[in-house]
Structure formats: structure tokens, C-alpha cells
């Protein structure tokens, strides 16, 4: 994840010199196996059925790249989602409502996906969506940037 976050930032840096560039990449794991985007309703049902009662770990690579001097900071954030025991009826109803076919793990936490969980574990809820803002703000602070600083 860190390598891909860096590569994404470096690709943008080719066009954007003298900028701070944010790169991020995320992978979801269930029992050591990567959960991809399901793309079909059948695969989404299979994924959520497998996740039922288990823990899914989201690993997010984060890069803050300074294209003015080719320096960068890399971090990895891990966020764990503990799924409730889900019935097939709950899963199919959720998929019909949210249509999470383009989402790794077959859910959207920013919508009804939160109803699938019994516990969330991690430092920053935003990392579950794909951008760990607490870590990003710490990186930006090392560059003298803070949303709380007066101009």
C-alpha cells in the first residue's frame, strides 16, 4: 500500500512541480485474503456472507510528496471492522439499498454499511473511507501547514 501511495503521488508530481501531493492506496483483508470490489450482486453477497461475524482489516498507505525537492513521508494506517453476524436477508437487503458493487468489501461505511458492524477499531475513522486524516494532518504539520494556523 505504501509503495502504491508513493507511486500515485510521484505520477502527479511529474505534472505538478513545487507542490505538496497526497497519494493514498487501500487494501481490505479477510483472513489474509484481499477483498476486491465485487462488481456483481452475487459476488457482493458472497463477500458479505464471508465477512459475517469476522474481522476485516483495512490497510491504507499514505504518502505526502513534496515535488519541490522530491522528498516524501510514508505511513500505513490499519483500521479493523468487526462484522455482526449477518443473515442472508440482511445482506441482500443492504446490497439492494446501497449498491456497493464498486466498493472493496462490498460495503459503504458512510451509508448504511455502518449497520453491518458491531465494533470499529482504529485511530482514525476516516482511514476506513480511504484517507487517514489524522496522519495526513500530522504530515502536513511537518511542512508548516495546519488548518488551525492563522495566516
87 domain residue, yes or no: yes
Question: In 10 A of CB 122, how many CB atoms?
Answer: 18
Chain centroid to CA 47: 17
How is residue 84 annotated by DSSP? Answer: P
73 domain residue, yes or no: yes
- Whole-number pLDDT of residue 151: 59
CATH number of domain containing 82: 3.90.950.10
136 domain residue, yes or no: yes
Active site residue 25: yes
Q: Which domain holds residue 108?
A: 2-142
50 domain residue, yes or no: yes
Q: Are 56 and 83 in contact (CB under 8 A)?
A: yes
Rounded to an integer, what distance in angstroms lies between the CA atom of residue 113 and that of residue 151? 39
Q: Are 1 and 130 in contact (CB under 8 A)?
A: no
148 domain residue, yes or no: no
**pLDDT, the chain, mean:** 93
Which one of 25, 66, 70, 102 is the catalytic residue?
25
Rounded to an integer, what distance in angstroms lies between the CA atom of residue 140 and that of residue 132? 12
Number of domains in the chain: 1
Q: What is the pTM of this model?
A: 0.86
89 domain residue, yes or no: yes
147 domain residue, yes or no: no
How far CA 27 is from CA of 60, 79, 87, in Å, comes to 7, 11, 25
Which tens digits make up the pLDDT trace of 15-51? 998 999 999 999 999 999 999 899 999 999 999 999 9
76 domain residue, yes or no: yes
Q: Is residue 99 over pLDDT 70?
A: yes
Mean pLDDT for 131-141 is 95
Local structure of 100: helix, strand or coil: coil
Rounded to an integer, what distance in angstroms lies between the CA atom of residue 58 and that of residue 30? 9
Mean pLDDT for 120-146 is 92
Q: Is residue 149 over pLDDT 90?
A: no
* pLDDT tier for residue 150 given thresholds of 50, 70 and 90: low
Could you tell me the three cell numbers for 23? 497519494
Amino acid at each position: 500500500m505504501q509503495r502504491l501511495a508513493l507511486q500515485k503521488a510521484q505520477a502527479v508530481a511529474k505534472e505538478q512541480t513545487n507542490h505538496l501531493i497526497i497519494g493514498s492506496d487501500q487494501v481490505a483483508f479477510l483472513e489474509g485474503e484481499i477483498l476486491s470490489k465485487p462488481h456483481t450482486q452475487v459476488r457482493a453477497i458472497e463477500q458479505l456472507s464471508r465477512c459475517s461475524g469476522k474481522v476485516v482489516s483495512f490497510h491504507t498507505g499514505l504518502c505526502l510528496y513534496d515535488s519541490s525537492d522530491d522528498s516524501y513521508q510514508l505511513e500505513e494506517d490499519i483500521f479493523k471492522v468487526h462484522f455482526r453476524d449477518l443473515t442472508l436477508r440482511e445482506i441482500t437487503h443492504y446490497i439492494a439499498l446501497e449498491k456497493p458493487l464498486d466498493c472493496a468489501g462490498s460495503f459503504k461505511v458512510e451509508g448504511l454499511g455502518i449497520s453491518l458492524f458491531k465494533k470499529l477499531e482504529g485511530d482514525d475513522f476516516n482511514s476506513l473511507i480511504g484517507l487517514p486524516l489524522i496522519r495526513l494532518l500530522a504530515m502536513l504539520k511537518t511542512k508548516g501547514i495546519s488548518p488551525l494556523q492563522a495566516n
